[in-house]
Amino acid sequence: MAASTKTRLAAAVAGAATVVLLGGGGLLTATAAPSRDGAPPPTPTIAWEACETTLPGVDVGAYECATVDVPTDYDRPHGRTTQIAVTRLPATDPERRIGSVLTNFGGPGGPGVDTLHQVGELMFAPEVRERFDVVSFDPRGVGRSDPVTCFPTAAQEEAFFARLPGFPVTPEEERRTIAGFTVTAAGCQLISGDRLAHSSTANVARDMDVLRAALGDEALTYVGYSYGTILGATYSALFPDSVRALVLDGPIDPVAWSGVGSPEPIGVRVRQAHGATQTFGEFTRLCTEVGPGGCALAGLGDPAELTEEVLQALQDEPVEVPIGGGEPFLVTYQDAVGLLFSGMYNTADWPAVAATFAELAVRNGVTDPVPQARQQTPSLDELLRRLGLVEDYPSLGGAVASLCMDTHNPLPLWRYPALADAHDAQYPHFGRLRGWLGAQCAPILLRDHDAYTGPWEQSVEQPVLVVGTRFDPATPYEFVEPFAAHYPDARVLTVEGWGHTTLGRSTCADAAIARYLVSGEAQDSATCAQDLTPFTAGPLAQPLPAPPGPVRWPF
């Protein structure tokens, strides 16, 4: 796959993975999934038809789409139903077709249908595309499936969260955030209570097993990224005899995810602030090494010092940026930290992140402009347009759904300011961003009693392939070995590189994944390099994905 093609693929997936990940405070209790008595759920017939899309520039002519009805409550498999949106890209060599490979791109709350339409023809090596239909779906509560919504309209949701900070810093912002999360939780439970109460990852896994049967596959072939590894681990725990192959890329240790008995909320347990801090160290190191020709910050001074000075200056006063002929846009401290975190997901975006901070350094007077360095990068006006900072705020309900039903968060809302302060002292900037992860669930009283929170020791007989990136800001590499240890036969593949998951970054990893999916063969303790080192492909090779908005905190 050509480098430019892989860059587009990684950028598209990074954008799709920037979803509304909300977290919770501690009124949930973790319960094991009960046994499901009675008849099994019926296997639906999938009526495939042509797809429709609202994504600009995306051709869906090669895809088929459908909706499938699954039980809302699997304890009552013949009762009320929930609608799931599904799409597939048929195998290019149907005569040699093995089956379907189901995919999940992360979240929770990430859209599967639209993301597959963006990347499905690029994400796998040709031998996988030849032998498998590539299938994805919007999990229950998300996107085109019956969504969990928390406001009467999208416009009201957008207006409400426009009044909240990306994450709170001052005591006044903390009070507004706590009040905002309380209002949101009430809305989610009032407007979407039934959907919310059945939205755990365990029920998504059960939906996936219904889809597996409807697709005609005796056993599941699955590729999950980031939060998708939690979905994969939940499926294999519930249906160990129905697994053909699992690729679990960017793993989150399910013990940390579910958090049974932990005194810490999920924002601390998943160690994203640690991963982001490590990856940021690589960002500034590689920027310095490549110099001004590949990294705009290096043309203005020490990248680490300049970034810190910009963040400190933005805490005192936002930077006003004119946007065309419209109202000026204020870049806040929260915007900058969120941009830095999400921008590290995809190494193709690192030059744009550096260029943005270089412009901010000049605009707020941290440093004088260097003409040559500024000529190499677009204006901040152009960067902000590319970054989507002024675009509409997306829905958050789907992310509330699985997260709040799955994870134990023992703290009430009023405890989060002190926790965020302590976390930020350990991991400056990223600690506060991630420390509030979990607070949104605190006021939610609903529980999904079919949620699965362990045990996580797996009994799958087939080998599974666990893939990790050495410097991943969202799913730290330290989770790879604990995650793999839950399986009797896990083969670990390490990509010696940077960014969130390996999709679209390593031809070597793509080949290893293809070999495993087709033949089941995988070497343990294998390593692969990334195709490109950050900052070596020229500045701003692709636009950045939209950075986090007020509560858009991605996995």
The answer to whether 272 and 494 are in contact (CB under 8 A) is no
Residue 397 lies in a domain: no
Interhelix angle 397-406/201-214, rounded to 10 degrees, is: 110
Same domain, 46 and 127: yes
**Do 28 and 123 have their domain in common?**
yes
- C-alpha 191, offset from chain centre: 25
Whether residue 90 contacts residue 125, with contact meaning beta carbons closer than 8 Å, is answered with no
**Strands of 49-50's sheet in order across:** 49-50, 64-71, 81-89, 132-137, 99-104, 220-225, 243-249, 464-471, 490-498, 526-529
Give pLDDT, residue 323. 61
Low-confidence ranges of the chain (pLDDT < 50): 1-4, 8, 13, 15-37, 371-379, 381-382, 384-385, 388-394, 538-554
Distance from CA of residue 235 to its chain's centroid?
Answer: 19
Distance CA 181, CA 51 (A): 36
pLDDT at position 319 is 87
Asked if residue 121 and residue 13 are part of one domain, the reply reads yes
The total of other beta-carbon atoms located within 10 Å of residue 441's CB is 29
Residues 129 and 230 in one domain: yes
Q: Which residues on adjacent β-strands are paired with residue 496?
A: 529
Coil, helix or strand at residue 303: helix
| Same structural domain, 364 and 477 | no
Distances (CA, A) of 521 to 189, 223, 262, 465, 490: 46, 15, 37, 9, 11
Domain stop point among 339, 371, 387? 387
In tens, the pLDDT along 111-128 reads: 999 999 999 999 999 999
Q: Is 446 helix (H, G, I), strand (E, B) or coil?
A: coil
Q: Is residue 324 part of a domain?
A: yes
**Which residue segment(s) compose the domain that 78 sits in?**
3-150+195-263+449-523
Check residue 72 and give its pLDDT. 92
- Looking at the structure of the chain, the number of domains it has is 2
In a domain, 34, yes or no: yes
pLDDT at position 547, please?
Answer: 34
Give, in degrees to the nearest 5, the angle at Cα 214 between 209 and 220.
Answer: 40
**Domain end: 340, 371, 387, which one?**
387
DSSP at 89:
E
Q: Are residues 230 and 294 in the same domain?
A: no
CATH code for position 491: 3.40.50.1820
Q: Which of 367, 387, 407 is the last residue of a domain?
A: 387
Compute the distance between CA of residue 200 and CA of residue 209 in angstroms, rounded to an integer: 15
Domain shared by 304 and 247, yes or no: no
CA 406 – CA 166 distance, rounded (Å)? 24
**11 & 116 share domain:** yes
- Cα distances (angstroms) measured from residue 264 to each of 27, 204, 255, 270, 384: 13, 25, 12, 10, 36
Distances 468 to 125, 293, 493, 503, 522 between C-alpha atoms, Å:
19, 30, 7, 11, 15
- Structural domain contains residue 259: yes
Spell out the SS3 assignment of 229-247.
HHHHHHHHHHCHHHEEEEE
For 375, phi and psi rounded to 5 degrees? -70, -20
Same-domain pairing of 79 and 146: yes
Contact (CB, 8 A) for 404 and 141: no
**Using an 8 Å Cβ cutoff, are 190 and 152 in contact?**
no
Is 60 found in the same domain as 126?
yes
DSSP secondary structure code for residue 248 in this structure: E
CA angle 392, 395, 397 (to 5 degrees): 165
> Which tokens in the block code for residue 437?
């992860």
**Sheet strands (E) in 256-415:** 319-321, 329-331
Q: What is d(CA 91, CA 94) in angstroms, rounded to the nearest whole number?
A: 6
Decide if 93 is inside a domain. yes
Q: How far is 541 from 212, CA to CA, in rounded Å?
A: 38
Kindly state whether residues 138 and 223 are assigned to the same domain: yes
Distance between terminal CA atoms of the chain? 26
Tallying the residues shown for the chain, one arrives at: 555
- Residues 360 and 331 sit within 8 Å (Cβ to Cβ): yes
Residue at 410 is within a domain: no
Q: How many CB atoms lie within 10 A of CB 175?
A: 12
83 and 118 share one domain: yes
**Any idea which residue has 């994805």 for tokens?**
136
Give the integer Cα–Cα distance in Å for 254 and 484: 11
- Classify residue 246 as left (phi > 0), alpha (psi -120 to 50) or beta: beta
Tell me, yes or no, whether 479 lies in a domain.
yes
376 assigned to some structural domain: yes
What letter represents residue 400's amino acid? V
